[in-house]
Structure 1
C-alpha cells in the first residue's frame, strides 16, 4: 500500500498582482478533498505571508487580500514593513 500525495486545487484568483510598482504573487489553494482555502502572498524577495485562518471560498480569500491592500497598501508585503522595532535600553 502506498501513500498518495493529495491533489492541490489552485484558484483562478491566484497570480501576480502589481500596484504602486510593487508586485506580489497571490496563492489561493486548497486540498482536493478539503473545502477550505488558504491564502499566501509571496513578495519579490520570496518572503511568504500566510493567513492563519482558512476561507470558505477562494473569492473570500482574495477579498481578504484586497482588503489588506486597500487598508495598508502593497508596501505592507515588503520585507521589514511589518517589523516593529523595540527601543534599546
Structure 2
C-alpha cells in the first residue's frame, strides 16, 4: 500500500469565526515542495468543502475563502439541513 504524502499547512490555516459560527480553514500542500496549495473548509458537523483547482500561493487560497464568505456567507459551507418530517 502506498503511503499518503506528508503535507505542510499554511500559516493562514486555522479557525475562522463569523457571526458566532466557526469553521476550520485548511490550506495545505505536499511537504517539501513548492507545489500548489489546496483549500478546504471543514465545519463542526464535518461538512467538507474542497476547491477543485489548486492555488499558486496560500494567500490566494485564503483570499478565495474570504471572498466566498463575503459573497455567500459562512453558512454556505454547511450541508443542507435535514428536512422536516412530514406529518399527514
TM-score (norm 1): 0.81
Residues of 2 paired with 1:44 and 1:5: CA distance? 25
- Runs of 4 or more, structure 1, over 6 Å off, are none
Root-mean-square deviation over aligned CA pairs = 1.7
Q: Where does residue 61 of structure 1 map in the other structure?
A: 61
Deviations 1:36-63 (A, max 9, x none): 0000000110111100000000000000
**What are the superposed Cα offsets for residues 28-86 of structure 1, whole Å, 9 maximum, x if unpaired?**
000023510000000110111100000000000000000000111111112217xxxxx
> How many matched pairs?
79
Unaligned runs of 5+ in 1: 82-89
What is the TM-score of this pair, normalised by structure 2? 0.81
Distance in 2, matches of 1:52 and 1:38, equals 8
Question: Unaligned regions of 5+ residues in structure 2, if any?
Answer: 82-88
Tell me the equivalent position of 1:85: none
